[in-house]
Structure 1
């Protein structure tokens, strides 16, 4: 008569099943590992791109001033190729058509003063002459700083800032401006033949009593290395967890398949369940 299957046999089989990770969980973990590695590689590539961008901008800022792009090249002007170029332009300011754009600088809260500069060939360029505090908002408080006649301006070429600032849309009909939107400002001030960019005047272009120039902030956050290390660390932790899970599962399945591992003190010929002072070590699957 064969021995009936007892509770002990069921106990030794259940751990083997419990130790085996489910297929969907394994697939999900492997997918997450691949995604984390991909994110880490992407951040490494972004860091290389950002460093190259910073290097290009540094070269542009410190290069000798060049004439602004000609009208024929305006459609090709872009942030990647032209922003922060050191440029120069000459013409006559149209002070009666200036626009104040809200700003916060190292000088405190106030406004950027954007004044159209009309060249002799009829081309108009918006010039960010610089910053004025709130108490000098009215043009009458700074008439002495508004030069007449032809002036030469040097500064940095900037790309238009359409629509408005963070959570604030420009309201041209109420003369409220939160960004330097060249197209909208030109339309509001009835300007013609306007360049699709503006120029941040440098400190050397400011006049006594006029706006404070040279306050352009050039800052490119570069946290990509930290992000890359974070993604790679998460991938490493996940890989370690997978290793422990699978290695532990294989070990437990081996124990479960063998049932009890008996190491008798008297050698291999000893009884399987000897008790007493010379009993061997019984290792039971858990």
Structure 2
């Protein structure tokens, strides 16, 4: 076989090998691209869900106050359907059964004051009357702010916060509370007909000298668009890398240069004892 044929065969073999991707690497890359796209689509869907949730909560918070759900419907009360509803109720506070739950608010560190409200129908509803700083933890420092008679409360319906706070569990036997766990508080305070939710009293329900109400924080992080763009960008970059690595050979042309013997560049192009056809990649 001539030198020209040998070099040409080698060029074609090299071109075919370059254009042929590694099977396992191609499968992994394609799988990763599909996964990244799926994650991006999921974040887009999550963003739509979060926007709908924010809109729904805003409507509930600013709606006129309505009576709390009747006891017969308490088992059907859910986060999706009822949390942050603007509600109203009436009864008498059981100040001797209040519970202090550690809190950090815009007013600083301190406690939420959760006090059972005894209603005329025999049920109790825990009312988060608001915030007190650490120096007012003792109930004796707040006697003037504890009404004795019947009161009317308006506020936001909130769902129970079971077990405890971040890295801290409630310890009922030592009266240490880090979350507003309705069932545990009701058991510790011997409330036999307590609602499975509590109510954050608004600022209009607070009394002079009592806890500071109306501090409910309504904040829903919504970074889903950023996450979606991140996943889609990674998928696009990986697809581009896959194309450059494995697909570039499909568009690479082989150029054959015939250098006449004795030409000006013949010596520079020699790779051995013969100066035949030289194959270059375009």
The normalised TM-score by structure 1 is 0.88
**Structure 2 SS opposite 1:104:** strand
Q: Which residues in structure 2 correspond to 1:62-81 (within 5 Å)?
A: 62-81=62-81
Q: Which residues in structure 2 correspond to 1:200-211 (within 5 Å)?
A: 200-211=200-211
1:274 equivalent in alignment to 2:269: no
1:204-255 deviation line (CA, Å, top 9, x unaligned): 0000000000000000011111111111111111121122223322245x53
- In structure 2, relative to structure 1, the CA distance for the partners of 1:28 and 1:273 (3 Å cut) is farther
**Structure 1 SS opposite 2:130:** strand
- Give distance in 1, aligned partners of 2:228 and 2:53: 19
How many pairs align? 272
List gaps (5 residues or longer) in structure 1: 265-271
List gaps (5 residues or longer) in structure 2: 270-276
Q: Which residues in structure 2 correspond to 1:123-202 (within 5 Å)?
A: 123-202=123-202
Q: Which residues in structure 2 correspond to 1:38-117 (within 5 Å)?
A: 38-117=38-117
2:273 matched residue in structure 1: none
Kindly report structure 1 stretches of 4+ aligned residues shifted beyond 6 Å.
4-7, 278-281
- Give distance in 2, aligned partners of 1:201 and 1:274: 99
Out of 244, 256, 261, the position equivalent to 2:256 is 261
The normalised TM-score by structure 2 is 0.89
1:267 matched residue in structure 2: none
CA RMSD of aligned residues (A): 2.4
Contact 2:130/2:211 (8 A) holds in 1: yes
